[in-house]
A and B are shown apart, each in its own frame.
Chain A
Amino acid sequence: MFVINCPFCGEREQSEFKAGGEAHILRPKQPTELSDDEWAEYLFMRKNIKGIQFERWNHTHGCRKWFNIARDTSNDEIKVVYKMGEKPPSI
């Protein structure tokens, strides 16, 4: 359990949020031109690293807004929270 600082509502407990997976994955511009392997790579393959990971989260039980966080997956420390559409900060 940890506390997430929602950029809209402020500090809330993790149980109010839903994780939305890895952030900053761009949809291919021409999906029809991709091979099955390339499409599977886009659709399913995630880094899932031990360390700082950029993730999307949704405040489902609060303002219902999406935002990004940079979280250290080894100790759940949240390095930075930033809004959708903003570029990932360098950490």
Chain B
Amino acid sequence: MLNYNQALPKDTLIQDLQMKEIKPIMKLVIRGKKREFISAVGKSLNILLPTEANTSTQSDRLTALWLSPDEWMIFSNQPVDENTNNYETEQLLNKNISKLNLGAVTDVTDQFVMINLKGNKVYPLFQTGSPFNFNDFQTKKGAVTQTILTKIDIIVHNQDKNDVNLFVRRSFSQHLFSWMNDSASRL
């Protein structure tokens, strides 16, 4: 990671709602349209990219989130070494995707902050500031959505029941975290 500072001031626990930043997590955004692109990613990382909208797939090391018909985010399931920004996964994709002109690979490790939220107040919290209908979303394990929360762009990944990963751009993360703390205190 380039930014060693904690993006969020501290972990919090408010009314059974636990919020904490998980770091350092490797995050890559990959873009490509060709069929060869999807199969090359599959062979390189041993993970099948989700082609169905608003879904994700997982291997033992990585998770792939559907962002749009030609865009995915791949992140590591476990924290990585914080002293380097060189990732084996990225190098592998650069070799098998970028160099062959099949698609694009962008390292967004430092751009996005990953916040893990746990507890049965997660969705009531989202409902106070997002226009997205989370009714079906919260019952589907692995569901993904990009939406807005208090006018901030977020990516939400329903990891498990009442266990959600939220990705937000680093420059918005402190404000969002502060808003979530404030909003959660009144649930």
Contact = CB atoms under 8 A, between A and B. Distances in A.
Interface stretch (A19-27, A60-68, A74-82): A60-68
B54 interface: yes
Contact-residue bracket for chain B: 10 to 19
A12 B148 CA distance: 11
A11 B134 CA distance: 12
B132 A63 contact: no
Given A13-B131, A16-B131, A63 B148 contact: no
A67 to B, nearest CB: 11
A13 B68 CA distance: 17
Could you tell me the dominant secondary structure of chain B's interface residues? strand
A73 interface: no
Interface in B54-70: 54, 67-69
A91 interface: no
Contacts of A8: 53, 68-69
Interface in B91-146: 131-133, 145-146
B153 interface: yes
Interface string A49-74: 00000000000011111000000000
A62 B147 contact: yes
B169 to A, nearest CB: 12
Contacts of A13: 131-132
A63 B67 contact: yes
A64 B147 contact: no
A61 B148 contact: yes
B153 to A, nearest CB: 6
A8 B146 CA distance: 12
A61 B153 CA distance: 6
Nearest to A13: B131
Interface of A: 8-13, 15-16, 61-65
Given A62-B146, A63-B71, A65-B69, 18 more contacts: A8-B69, A10-B53, A10-B54, A11-B133, A12-B131, A12-B147, A15-B131, A16-B131, A16-B132, A16-B148, A61-B147, A61-B153, A62-B68, A62-B145, A63-B67, A63-B68, A64-B68, A64-B71
